[in-house]
A = this chain, B = another copy of it.
Amino acid sequence: MMTGAAAPRLVDIAQSAGVSVATASRALSGRQGVSTAVAERVKEIAESLGYIGNVHARSLAGGTSSSVGLVVHEVADPYFSEIASGVMRVAGRRGLSVQMCHSGRDPQIELRQLRTLIANRVGVIVVAGSGYLDAEAERSIHRELTRFTQAGGRVVAIGRHQHATDAVLPANTDGAQAVTRHLLALGHRRVAVVTGSLGLTTVADRLTGVHRALAEAGIPREEVPVVVAPFTRDGGKTATLEVLREHPGSTAVLALNDDMAIGALSVLRSRSLRVPDDMSVTGFDDVPVAADLSPSLTTVRLPMQQMGEKALELALRPAAKRPRRVVMPATLVERDSSGPPRRS
């Protein structure tokens, strides 16, 4: 793709400075073993010639990598863009490049992307986003990741836990339990859960939290419908429409992410149903806009940027004997979209 014309190389710098490439290399990478004077001159010349070292050559010769791979489901999704932002902040500080790719929530694509990252010889891979309950898919991914770590690479997962890698885990179950308790405490009994694919581990974990809270309250889980649709705003709309149609007595929509909750709010508004008077709505994640919605969204806050930062920091530390897991707190944020159920 790139023609590669006359960019100055290390030899050129060395020649200009009247030293060997070895000395030039040492001088530019700030290693010791060069007199200050020479180092000084080499750097000046490099600067004036606009020299920029070739990372490929360096990586090939040194066997080192200065880039990190980041796999997200979809960067336009605020959950992932927040995480990505955290990863990039840490990478920026350490002078690392970030190679990002989309998995599109598809294990096949994820596998391909992983292979690309490995081909690019990234030193670490951060995999963000839910895993898949499809055992076969997970196995292939796991195999690739294992090979990578055995070759000296570091892997950290965010929000998935079935691999034997280090992981940053949001307290999905606790968070879901907290928000469910919140609705129950307000007096809701006819809650409808609105969620993305049950094949995502994130969903499974959050659903576990919901069921725990129901169990505490002695409510049989069969009484709480679970409506599945894509894990997006549009999915939230579809699902909410279904709730309204199939479960007309519901007094609260408990969405398993904010996107779906936003879709729910939008449908309710268009139906002229007041939130929370006619229907309470809760989300999960606390994306930045949740606080600015009207009504502001009751949700579960996940420190997404910190999760990204933490993940890369973890990856940059050498591997421990046993996989490290860092659990990030999920905290209920009570806002205006939830309230007591209407009297019926």
Contacts and interface: CB of A to CB of B under 8 A. Distances in A.
A75 B67 contact: no
Contacts of A262: 289, 292
Contact of A233 (B59, B99, B118, B288): B288
B99 A101 contact: no
A279 B137 CA distance: 53
Interface string A96-111: 0111111000000100
A89 interface: yes
Contacts of A150: 5-6
A56 B288 CA distance: 39
Contacts of A263: 292
A3 interface: yes
B75 A88 contact: yes
Contacts of A55: 56, 119-121
Contacts of A329: none
Given A2-B151, A54-B119, A56-B59, A97 B88 contact: no
15 contacts: A4-B63, A4-B152, A52-B118, A52-B119, A54-B119, A56-B57, A56-B120, A67-B99, A75-B85, A75-B88, A81-B84, A84-B100, A89-B102, A97-B116, A289-B289
Interface string A276-309: 0000000000001101111100000000010000
A153 interface: yes
Interface string A75-95: 110100110110011001001
A123 to B, nearest CB: 4
A332 to B, nearest CB: 21
A324 interface: no
A208 interface: no
A334 interface: no
A318 B74 CA distance: 29
A221 to B, nearest CB: 30
A320 interface: no
Contacts of A53: 119
Interface string A107-149: 0010001011111111110000000000000000000100100
A7 interface: yes
Contacts of A162: none
Nearest to A305: B76
Contact of A266 (B100, B120, B292): B292
Contacts of A64: 1-2
A50 interface: yes
B88 A1 contact: no
A129 to B, nearest CB: 14
A100 B289 CA distance: 24
A27 to B, nearest CB: 17
Given A2-B65, A2-B124, A55-B120, 14 more contacts: A2-B63, A2-B152, A5-B150, A7-B147, A52-B118, A54-B60, A57-B60, A76-B78, A76-B84, A92-B113, A97-B117, A99-B100, A233-B292, A265-B292
